[in-house]
Amino acid sequence: MLLNILNKTTTSTLSMKNSILFEIDKYLEKHYPKLDFDQVDLIANDIQRRYDYTSLIEHIDEQIKETAYYANIKLESLDDTEEFVHSSEGC
């Protein structure tokens, strides 16, 4: 089982060299060698299904901003450029 950590936030235009890939099953096999296949599969599947990406995304975003700052790159997020347009009538 492969877990592409950035799966929920990346677009298809990024190449694999700019992705973070964490193989949960390989980690379990290496660090907990006495687990059998079914145990590794159960744990890995559960973690993949319930993993909260929030802290990882926040950490990566902080690093992006730090790198951009030191490289003198101005970042504009979608939140900075999108304007809310109210299109419903009669509200």
Q: What is the pLDDT of residue 1?
A: 42
- pLDDT tens digits along 16-50: 678 888 999 999 999 999 999 999 999 999 999 99
Strand partners, 22: 3
Task: Domain ranges for the chain, please list them.
Answer: 3-81
Instruction: Say whether pLDDT at 14 is over 70.
Output: no
Spell out the residues 6+ positions from residue 46 whose beta carbon is closer than 8 angstroms to its own: none
How far apart, in whole angstroms, are the C-alpha atoms of residue 10 and residue 80? 18
Q: What angle do CA 54, 83, 62 make, to 5 degrees?
A: 30
For 28, the enclosing helix (H) or strand (E) is helix 24-31
